[in-house]
Chains A and B, each alone.
Chain A
């Protein structure tokens, strides 16, 4: 329906704009008065931190692209020129390089938060799936970005990853040739990777927008995992969560800056300061740390196609997670079996990360297989079963009254329970 917006803003310029394009009203509604559960802990900072990371990556990336040359004979030297000759080039590149790692740290914690507090459950399934899409786009972007400096690790990491597709029966080799634009990783590959590395962050931005729109439709989950019931359960986003997020941002930037200024190559591989050589494979190829768990899953089976399928499944399983978990209770706080299993999952994932960095021999192969087995067991077997056998703890009545009155005869067993405290499925809003 067409028609001017009736704006409440007093400032005449703001009012004039807002009448024609109610962007100020929208910001006020979505980031000012937006009712947010009042019991957030610091895990709820990581969405904002991810957003800041994305912004930092785009800004530094755009500036780096002004001095980078996407050509196999120039790429390595142009990066070195950025490091030595370009004003503050060293700073911008180190921020960009470490920013990728920071972004992944933040996103991994953000995903952990979603798993631990059941943020993927109804009605937030689509919100969660959009998040997985963002994660996939991030991995593609990071992978292609790592190729651009054209060092030995860039070259051989990219060779190994693109060759994953050759495992596809019949059409695999044609697909690899198409991806590379030649019969081996070469100039056409570098050019297209640069083009896509520049494009994908903006696609990420687009999906982030959808992610946030979906979030503002369903509302945020919270550490108790119960629905907001009354206005007493919420606070306006500003100033309460703008302030809380600011504290997180300051701590995050402190950590970030410590790496940039005191250990800029902490996450890097020395071999990547050797220019790419298509005839010599470095003795030990490792991907960037944020890919290690998936790399370990790839190597867990001694079969090429099987490994590739398993690796892609490890992320695909997240897309169906909302339907694999059959328990109606969201937060792990009230799930006595799910909670310890969640920590086992984290341990398995971290183990995979360590295994991925080790040569595939001896104890590492065994550990990798056990951890991979648990990863899939957790999602595909334990989660569907838990909903049936687990007896959740009593849920609080509301966010505003999180503590259940403990009467002498309520000891958590089968005795009579206070009204509204039984573990019943949550009502859908």
Chain B
């Protein structure tokens, strides 16, 4: 009885159907897919555990008081473990940043798009060179600021202008502008 049943099963899975597909092909496919999905499901927690943890993400916003910053001066604050440059630009520096032909830039972007409306004095950028992650010099008045009056990266010689835009390689992109809002005229919240 049992033998007859198993013979029937064997026949069913090895019989080639009208479309040329054996039942066994389907079974192999289903088993294989289940194994792949299973391995993926097991691997994902391991892979994702290496992404930023919740406590790292929780430190994602920081408030900065702008009152002590003088014209032309920059301060560095830490956000997500990265240095953030907050610079109060002088009239000349703003004029300089806005008089450049945008199309001539390595990473074309207007100065207006990089600051908040009505707060053109304040430039807030992530102080990490977009080349290989060094911290550019120039936030302190005593630092070298490069040929464009912004920042100068000591590692591989990239230069940024007073809008934090890259003007001389090897960096491929402008200093990133982090997400931030003006809580009031003298306070910003980054993140």
Contacts and interface: CB of A to CB of B under 8 A. Distances in A.
Interface in B46-104: 47, 50-53, 56, 76, 78, 80-83
Given A188-B52, A281-B155, A302-B170, A182 B134 contact: no
B169 interface: yes
Contacts of A281: 134-137, 153-155
A361 B157 CA distance: 9
A164 interface: yes
Interface of B is mostly: loop
B172 interface: yes
A184 B134 contact: no
B135 A183 contact: no
B132 A160 contact: yes
Residue of A279, A282, A360 most packed against chain B (CB within 10 A): A279
B134 A159 contact: yes
Contact of A160 (B47, B80, B133, B137): B133
Contacts of A307: 170
B154 A278 contact: no
B78 A192 contact: no
Given A184-B80, A279-B78, A159 B156 contact: no
B81 A183 contact: yes
Given A284-B154, A302-B169, A184 B135 contact: no
B64 to A, nearest CB: 15
A252 to B, nearest CB: 35
A381 B176 CA distance: 41
A285 interface: yes
Interface residues of B, number: 29
A279 B134 CA distance: 9
B131 interface: yes
Interface in B118-141: 128, 131-137
A166 B80 CA distance: 17
A81 interface: no
Given A163-B133, A181-B50, A279-B76, A299 B56 contact: no
A150 interface: no
A217 B131 CA distance: 47
Given A177-B51, A182-B81, A188-B52, A299 B135 contact: no
Interface residues of A, number: 35
A178 B48 CA distance: 8
Contacts of B134: 156, 159-160, 281, 285
B51 A178 contact: yes
Given A156-B134, A159-B134, A160-B133, A303 B170 contact: yes
A181 B135 contact: no
A278 B83 contact: yes
Nearest to B170: A302
Interface in A283-340: 283-285, 299, 302-305, 307
Residue of A162, A182, A285, A303 most packed against chain B (CB within 10 A): A182
B157 A182 contact: no
A30 B26 CA distance: 48
A282 B80 CA distance: 21
B135 A280 contact: yes
Interface in A165-180: 166, 177-179
Interface in A192-228: 192
A279 B135 CA distance: 7
Contacts of A282: 154
Residue of A179, A183, A282, A303 most packed against chain B (CB within 10 A): A183
Interface in B163-187: 169-172
A199 B137 CA distance: 38
Nearest to B52: A182
A156 B153 CA distance: 13
Given A278-B81, A304-B172, 9 more contacts: A159-B133, A181-B53, A183-B81, A184-B80, A279-B83, A279-B135, A302-B170, A304-B170, A307-B170
Q: Which 8 A-B pairs have the closest CB atoms?
A: A184-B81, A163-B133, A183-B80, A281-B134, A160-B132, A159-B133, A163-B132, A281-B135
11 contacts: A159-B134, A163-B133, A177-B52, A181-B50, A181-B52, A184-B128, A278-B81, A281-B153, A303-B170, A360-B156, A360-B157
